[in-house]
Amino acid sequence: MTEQLHELIDLLDLEQVEVNLFRGHSPDDNWQRVFGGQVIGQALVAASRTVEDVVCHSLHAYFLRPGDPNVPIVYEVDRARDGKSFKSRRVTAIQHGKQIFNLAASFQSAEDGLAHQVEMPHVPPPEDLQPERERRLELAAKLPEEVRNIFTRKRPVEIRHVQPIDLLAPAKTEPVQQVWFKASEAGMPEDLGIHQCVLAYMSDMTLLDTCLRPHGVNYLNPKAQIASLDHAMWFHRPFRADDWMLYTQSSPASSGGRGLNFGHVFTRDGTLVCSMSQEGLIRLHD
């Protein structure tokens, strides 16, 4: 397991400070706010620590305030309902005495039933695509020194874009994209719940970018104000987050300073394992 992936697993391993109360920390990476995928993943870990013999099938989350990476995040779990087949949990993330995030998650015991899925699109395999970090290293010399190290640092997730864009001068394109991604190395624990939490972390890495593509804007634009507002996931089938998965993304609309995005995650054999949606704040300032 790479050092970066080990750090991600540690990041998701919350400290239990009381019944239904957990504490998480942020990495020391000089970001001004906490990465949204981190909060989703940690909140799902907190909820999962209060259930047994069930697996998360859906979650719905709202980002309320920017997270402060310099102080711990307290996660308070409300055991909303324990039924025979389903268990529901609500999680509130707190910093400086205020809610910064809340999540509702539903868990289900294993069950057979009717099954169908959409087909995975035909795209080049990840081995034929350039790693994201290589692309970033090629651009590093053109960036201000104060952001260069953050931009090129090794990450716990490996990403390869099917339709890469010029990060420094993005052209206007269709509001769709596909990326292959996975945890940076095999060797994660077998527990499906951990793989779900890692995928929750990963799912926030590119989805919001989709609604920016038709406007020729991205997160490096100094005039852009970009932030996640909400995030939802539906888990369909088991998977491993340390195997390559195809993340297909589309944006049907943006308006009112917000952009809506949808995503589907497929394993290499074409099995649909997760679907998600996200609305984000997208403002351009003069």
Q: Among the options 42, 184, 249, 278, which is catalytic?
A: 278
Residue closest to 5 by CA, chosen among 244, 183, 159: 183
278 is catalytic: yes
204 is catalytic: yes
Q: Among the options 177, 178, 184, 228, which is catalytic?
A: 228
Please, what sign has the CA dihedral across residues 286, 149, 207, 68? negative
Q: Among the options 203, 204, 242, 254, which is catalytic?
A: 204
In angstroms, rounded to a whole number, what is the distance separating the alpha carbons of residues 212 and 195? Answer: 28
CB under 8 A, 24+ apart: contacts of 189-195: 189/9, 192/55, 192/238, 193/48, 193/55, 193/56, 194/9, 194/12, 194/241, 195/238, 195/239, 195/240, 195/241, 195/242
- Cβ atoms 63, 258 nearer than 8 A: no
Helix (H, G, I), strand (E, B) or coil at 58: strand
269 is catalytic: no
Q: Which helix (H) or strand (E) holds 134?
A: helix 132-139
105 is written with which tokens? 């998650």
In angstroms, rounded to a whole number, what is the distance separating the alpha carbons of residues 110 and 136? Answer: 42
- Close Cβ partners of 118 (under 8 Å, ≥ 6 residues apart): 264, 272
Question: Annotated catalytic sites, by residue?
Answer: 204, 228, 278
